[in-house]
Amino acid sequence: MDFKFQIGTKVLFGRNCVKANGAEFSKLGARAFIVTGRSSGKASGALGDTTELLKDAGIAYMVYDRVDNNPTLENVKDAGMEAAAFEADFIIGIGGGSPLDAAKAAAVLAVNTVEPVELFKNIFSKKPLPVIAIPTTAGTGSEVTPYSILTRRDLETKMSFGNEDTFPKVAFMDARYTMSLDREVTVNTAVDALSHAVEGYLSRRSTAISDVFAIEAVEVFGQCLPALINGDFDFEAREKLLYSAMLGGMTISHTGTTIVHGIGYSLTYFRGLPHGRANGLLMAEYLRFNYEYVREKINKVLGLLGMKTIDELKRQLSGILNKGETFDEKEFSRYAALAMKQKSTSYNIRNVTETDMQDIMRKSLL
Ligand code: NAP
Ligand code: FE
């Protein structure tokens, strides 16, 4: 056995965990810069809980609520400059993966006067400001990963940066904050979490310990399938989805993702498909492509989901994801070429060619 294991994040999970652990905020300083989306902070109730606590603790704060979905370099530059001008001691990210990833970028840019494109070098002369992450979706696991995934208009794709210093210091995980999600975002983000667990489990970089997180994530996702199919989410189901997403994040913190994410980025960039939905539509054919190389592991995944075949999984996922768009071969060539440039493609257990990628898209999306 040969592995490295590190999660640089303290996780505080449970109902009212923000209020119950106010001291965690004061430890990080006297000035907090809050990074959130246009609606997610308020709709979830997380922004209200946090600002109330900050006021009580005498911590000055400023709210930046202009994070776009799939944030761009321009967007995080803006947030970073405002955080610097505010002279923030720490950053609080509140929202789905988009605001949490933007918070990590702002934490670096607030103290390093570099252009955002330099983020991808992963070397920062000054350590990023500490980040507190408060997820309001149950999907990306960004609260426990070092990754920040940003849209690069210059390269027409999404790209991630992150190193040991970009793990959030603390994650507050309260499923109450995900109760306001509509069914569509709930399903899409849950499927993103499944994708992290499965891609991590089947990755060349998987380890004994990352597999523990991945298997638990898939199993818990499976327990939530009836709720995802019926669209009926009680608090218990919301907690399980949040837990599963966190485990998926812990998995990819060690393994990274592979070709599902690599191809999915183009479906988001060029066609606007939500991140998790893009991954979910590709999942079954990705499993079929890899089947002979990791047969036992794929059978284990299907078993944990209570399914017998890849086709059964494909039917279930298409059912909850509403496959609708039409695609053409020209798009597949373009997306395959871009996905080949992603570092994560080399982590796929089976060597992949551009033609293989096109074939996966053809079988998944036509
Ligand atoms: P998101 O883009 O953060 O949010 C999707 C939508 O849900 C937004 O409209 C958002 O509103 C809304 N929303 C969020 N929480 C809500 C709540 N509690 N109630 C009502 N509405 C709410 O979606 P996401 O899937 O969580 O994140 C996707 C991003 O994360 C992508 O950029 C993806 O590449 C990245 N990602 C990161 C990692 C990682 O390890 N860091 C892993 C996978 C994916 P607002 O616009 O108001 O916020
Ligand atoms: Fe993802």
Please report which confidence band the pLDDT of residue 1 belongs to, taking 50, 70 and 90 as the band edges. Answer: confident
Q: Which of 261, 285, 281 is nearest to 157 (CA)?
A: 261
Residue of 185, 188, 241, 273 best suited for mutating to test ligand 1, as the one with most atoms within 8 Å of CB: 185
User: What's the chain's average pLDDT?
Assistant: 97
Sign of the CA dihedral 46, 54, 52, 9?
positive
Q: Which conformational region is residue 243 in: left (phi greater than 0), alpha (psi within -120 to 50 degrees), or beta?
A: alpha
DSSP assigned state of 243: H
CA of 87 to the centre of ligand 1 (A): 27
Nearest ligand (C-alpha, residue 135): 1
d(CA 366, CA 364): 6
d(CA 349, CA 290): 7
CA of 250 to the centre of ligand 2 (A): 12
Q: Ligand 1, closest atom to CA 253?
A: 40
- The backbone torsions φ and ψ at residue 38, rounded to the nearest 5 degrees and listed phi first, read -70, -35
User: What pLDDT, on the 0 to 100 scale, is given for residue 125?
Assistant: 97
- Structure confidence by residue, pLDDT tens digits, 224-253: 999 999 999 999 999 999 999 999 999 999
d(CA 194, CA 190): 6
DSSP assigned state of 86: T
d(CA 48, CA 113): 31
Contact 140, 245 (CB under 8 A): yes
d(CA 218, CA 237): 14
Nearest ligand (C-alpha, residue 140): 1
Contact 98, 39 (CB under 8 A): no
CA of 189 to the centre of ligand 2 (A): 8
Q: What percent of the chain has pLDDT over 90?
A: 99
d(CA 355, CA 353): 5
User: What pLDDT, on the 0 to 100 scale, is given for residue 203?
Assistant: 98
